Amino acid sequence: MRVLVVEDEVNTREFVARALREAGHKVEAVASGRDGLLLASSEPYDLLVLDRMLPQVDGLTIVRTLRASNSNVPVLILSALGEVDDRVAGLRAGSDDYLIKPFALTELLARVEALLRRPRVAQDHGEATALRVADLELDRLKRLVRRGERRIELQPKEFALLEYLMRHRDQVVTRTMLLEGVWDYHFDPKTNVIDVHISNLRQKVDREARPLIHTVRGVGYRLGLDAN
């Protein structure tokens, strides 16, 4: 498998790259976040191993940027930041796994193998670009949304918001997740931008149908058949 390692600390970079090569993978290793993002955006890797704290562009920004451009390449974050909040931030940014430094080589390799075994949910190139929840269907490539037989016209941000909610079906999605995942804001702009878009989406998606978009009071939203 083809693996990209992005790590600014030279010893860790060489150690990880060597271990992955010995495990039979084709490995490229770079030191800067900018090079990492550039390569990850242009080359078809099977897995990224990203250090979190990197010069220029940090690991989480790389993952967010890739996810925003609909890449679903598996990502393993390496980080010295091991608190629960740090791990949650890493996973919420779109990474698939999070390994805390210092780590045992055997654990790194086991996690890499597990990620490579996992079936990719939607391929970057081709099939499975459609998401479906009950009778609601969203086709990412055709930019098409339907509820049953009814075709729904959405503005670009509404489309991105609905796609985000459908990708996280049956999960509570917080306002922070939406701001980061849909608007790419890493701060709270203190506006009602989310409320306005959710309200518009409800008008279009849930009109004359069983409601799929639910408010989780004080937290955010959940898309699914059940209200809780």
Q: Which residues bind Ca ion (CB under 5 A)?
A: 8, 51, 53
DSSP state of 70: T
Residue 8 or residue 113: which is nearer to Ca ion going by CB? 8
Q: Closest CB to Ca ion belongs to which residue?
A: 53
- Residue 212 Cβ vs Ca ion, minimum distance, rounded to whole Å: 42
Gyration radius (Cα) of the chain, Å: 19
Closer Cβ to Ca ion, 80 or 88, answer by number = 80
Q: Which residues pair with 146 in a beta bridge?
A: 137, 151
Name the token pair of 154: 């959405």
- Phi and psi dihedrals of 215, rounded to 5? -90, 130
Asked if 216 contacts 177 with a C-beta cutoff of 8 angstroms, the reply is no
Shorter beta-carbon distance to Ca ion: residue 5 or 131: 5
Q: For residues 49 and 43, give the distance between their C-alpha atoms in angstroms, rounded to a whole number.
A: 14
CB nearer to Ca ion: give 51 or 158. Answer: 51
Query: What's the CA gap between 6 and 33, in Å, rounded?
Result: 7
CB of 34 to Ca ion, least distance (A): 14
